[in-house]
């Protein structure tokens, strides 16, 4: 990985994610999400503080295009999720989003490298971008994981034999492969101890800056907010009437 490839040539004033008058609730229940406006610019890192019950999971489902809002707009890199089919939303997710979960990010039955290249299996554009800097997607995955401090030995081990910290770093490499526009990290540090937590966030920030990817980092832990360009509280953002 000599020169990291840039994502889809967005200017820093362009937004990778825009939510407008977003409303969502399950058919008989109350509104869970009511967000008038929220935006992430290209290259920006945003800390979204969301305690449990603040509608965090629902919001991520909406941004990922798995849930559809009752009203309002979700736009990813200028593409309106509400105006396209679920299949096309799946494609947008594959092409533009890198997702890191709280834990258990990896499929246990395939190897570390195979886990890393999963997004390239579902997105041709990310595969092509990965091939711009390496001769194969596997080589790109190796470059990314070694950049995140994983040794060749680690790559040969089974997923279950890696420490939680190592697994989370593999998840970062996977989220970054093929340079998506927006990385969504959902409490990725909650299973890590304090020292590892800060190092993990620094690594994540450094790596995603190389690709020019924006970051939406969701956590309940306010102390992490200083690592990011901007911090937003979901409880303030979300206008839904409290039950």
Q: How far is the CB of 219 from another protein (least distance, A)?
A: 14
Which residues in this chain contact another protein in the complex, by CB under 8 A?
Answer: 57-58, 60-62, 64, 66-67, 86-87, 90-91, 93-95, 97, 99, 101-110, 118-119, 121-123, 174, 184, 186
Nearer to another protein, 73 or 127 (CB): 127
Q: How far is the CB of 24 from another protein (least distance, A)?
A: 11
The residue among 25 and 199 lying less far from another protein, judged by its C-beta, is 25
Residues 115 and 185: their CA atoms lie apart, in Å, by: 17
Helix (H, G, I), strand (E, B) or coil at 240: coil
- Rounded Cα gap, residues 47 and 220, in angstroms: 10
| Residue number, 60 or 144, with CB nearest to another protein | 60
**Residue closer to another protein, measured from CB, 102 or 205:** 102
> Residue 173, CB half-sphere, CA atoms under 13 Å: how many?
30
Element (H, E) at 45: strand 45-49
CB of 104 to another protein, least distance (A): 6
Distance CA 204, CA 198 (A): 10
- CB 122 to another protein: min, Å: 3
68/226 with CB nearer another protein: 68
Question: DSSP character for 83?
Answer: G
Strands 182-186 and 33-41 come out as unpaired
Cα dihedral sign for 7, 40, 49, 27?
negative
What's the closest the beta carbon of residue 147 comes to another protein, in angstroms?
Answer: 20
Distance in Å, CB of 97 to another protein, minimum: 8
Helix/strand/coil percent split, the chain, to 5: 40, 20, 35
Give phi and psi for 10, each to the nearest 5. Answer: -85, 145
Helix (H) or strand (E) holding 235: helix 234-237
Q: Which is nearer to another protein, 94 or 192 (CB)?
A: 94
User: 10 Å Cβ neighbour count for 30?
Assistant: 11
Q: Which is nearer to another protein, 118 or 199 (CB)?
A: 118
- Which three-class secondary structure string do you get for 179-205? CCCEEEEECCCCCCCHHHHHHHHHHHH
Shortest distance in whole angstroms from residue 29 CB to another protein: 13
């Amino acid at each position: 990985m000599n020169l990291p490839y840039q994502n889809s040539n967005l200017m820093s004033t362009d937004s990778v994610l825009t939510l407008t008058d977003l409303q969502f609730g399950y058919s008989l229940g109350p509104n869970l999400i009511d967000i008038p406006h929220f935006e992430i610019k290209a290259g920006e890192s945003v800390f979204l503080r969301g305690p449990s019950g603040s509608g965090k999971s629902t919001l991520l489902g909406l941004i990922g295009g798995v849930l559809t809002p009752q009203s309002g707009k979700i736009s990813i890199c200028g593409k309106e999720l509400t105006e396209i089919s679920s299949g096309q939303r799946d494609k947008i997710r594959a092409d533009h989003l890198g997702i890191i979960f709280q834990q258990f990010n990896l499929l246990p039955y395939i190897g570390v490298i195979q886990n890393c290249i999963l997004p390239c299996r579902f997105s041709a554009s990310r595969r092509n971008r990965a091939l711009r800097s390496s001769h194969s997607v596997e080589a790109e995955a190796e470059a990314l994981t070694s950049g995140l401090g994983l040794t060749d030995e680690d790559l040969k081990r089974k997923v279950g034999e890696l420490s939680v910290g190592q697994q989370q770093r593999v998840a970062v490499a996977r989220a970054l492969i093929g340079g998506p526009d927006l990385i969504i990290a959902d409490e990725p540090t909650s299973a890590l101890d304090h020292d590892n937590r800060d190092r993990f966030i620094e690594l994540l920030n450094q790596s995603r800056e190389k690709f020019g990817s924006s970051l939406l980092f969701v956590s309940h832990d306010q102390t992490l907010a200083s690592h990011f360009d901007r911090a937003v509280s979901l409880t303030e953002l979300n206008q839904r009437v409290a039950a």
